[in-house]
């Protein structure tokens, strides 16, 4: 599942699972760096607007580029 789920074709739980699988925590912050990308936020929190269906995955991603 590499392609983000469309908001109108998925549920909140499906989008939440997509984010969890796309940005898994490997519990090694020195190697991962994901927290820096999301300004110290958990990816689920960073992508909450996408998960809740308010904004597209690409729109939220632009916030962190």
Place of tokens 């994901």: 34
Mean pLDDT of all residues in the chain? 90
If one counts the domains in the chain, the total is: 1
Residue 2 domain flag: no
Nearest to 34 by CA among 45, 43, 22: 43
Domain housing 25: 7-62
Residue 1 domain flag: no
Residue 17 domain flag: yes
Whether 20 shows a pLDDT value over 90: the answer reads: yes
pLDDT digits (tens, 9 = 90+) for 28-55: 777 677 777 888 888 999 999 999 999 9
């Amino acid at each position: 599942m590499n392609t983000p789920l469309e908001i109108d074709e998925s549920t909140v739980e499906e989008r939440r699972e997509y984010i969890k699988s796309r940005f898994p925590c490997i519990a090694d912050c020195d190697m991962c760096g994901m927290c820096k990308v999301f300004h110290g936020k958990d990816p689920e929190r960073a992508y909450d607007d996408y998960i809740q269906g308010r904004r597209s995955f690409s729109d939220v991603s632009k916030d962190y580029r």
